[in-house]
Amino acid sequence: MKNSNPRIATITGAGRGSGKATALKLGRSGTSLYITDIDSNLLEESLSDLKSEGIEATGGVFDSSDISNAKVLIDSVIEHYGKLDILINNAGASKPNNFPEVSEENWEWNLNLNLKGPFFIMQEAAKHMIKQESGCIINISSISSSGGMTSSPSYAIAKSGVVTMTVTAAAYLAEHGIRVNAISPGIVDTHFHDEVKIKNPSVLEYQIKSIPLGRLAEPEDIASAISFLVSENASYITGEVITVGGGKNRL
């Protein structure tokens, strides 16, 4: 795993699910990692698993919805590694509420975590990447951004904003050699969907039937797409949104 000049990546929400799978995928390729999660136990478990494979990794507990944490996070990465090559804005969650029941509190919680926080983390990372004249940013959107999500409209709206945020940042940062893209996962078999009740057997069966490839995505499917986008093989790709949904592109 040792590399004399490894790429440095930071991944938010890497305590489990797609974030952890991405950390393992990049770490196994020789990338050094600074990972975060809001749950200290999940973070420590991820760091332990990474280090057990000989992957260079450290991290810290951060709440991605709190914009005051954005500068602290990126400064911590720079202080530890001296640079930042890759940012993966992965942290996200949903508090379901049907359209008539969406409260201001629900609205703000969903948008702060899924849109506002990632924007300011991206902004802080870009400041350092501009100095380097290089870098790669991946934001995690959702197929709900294009098709709506009746069980959590504020989440869908936030993820739609992530798409616009990605394209806007890509246009500005291209002249500095920084690429910005987004992944829109479909229905991934992670703890996230326990929270939005998709594990209900009837709901789960309906959702699987609606996916042309006939299965939920695994965290590794998302990690593989991210690994491609941050690689040299994607050096001419920026401002794009790649749907990883098994053929399903709307909820």
Answer yes or no: 155 catalytic: yes
Q: Tokens at residue 13, please? A: 């929400």
Q: Is 112 exposed, middle or buried (CB count within 10 Å of its CB: 0-12, 13-18, 19+)?
A: middle
In order of 77, 149, 184, the CA distances from 160 in angstroms are: 28, 11, 10
Q: Tokens at residue 130, please? A: 């501009």
Helix ranges restricted to H, 82-116:
104-111
Name every residue whose Cβ is closer than 8 Å to that of residue 118 and which is 6 or more positions away in sequence: 12, 64, 89, 91, 92, 139, 162, 165
Q: Is 215 exposed, middle or buried (CB count within 10 Å of its CB: 0-12, 13-18, 19+)?
A: exposed
DSSP 212-244: TTSSPBPHHHHHHHHHHHTSGGGTT--S-EEEE
Q: Is 138 exposed, middle or buried (CB count within 10 Å of its CB: 0-12, 13-18, 19+)?
A: buried
Q: State how far the Cα of 63 lies from the Cα of 118, in Å rounded to an integer.
A: 11
Q: What strands lie across the sheet with 178-185, from one edge to the other? A: 57-61, 32-37, 8-11, 86-89, 135-140, 178-185, 241-244
Options 34, 81, 155, 236, the catalytic residue: 155
Q: Which residues are identified as catalytic? A: 155
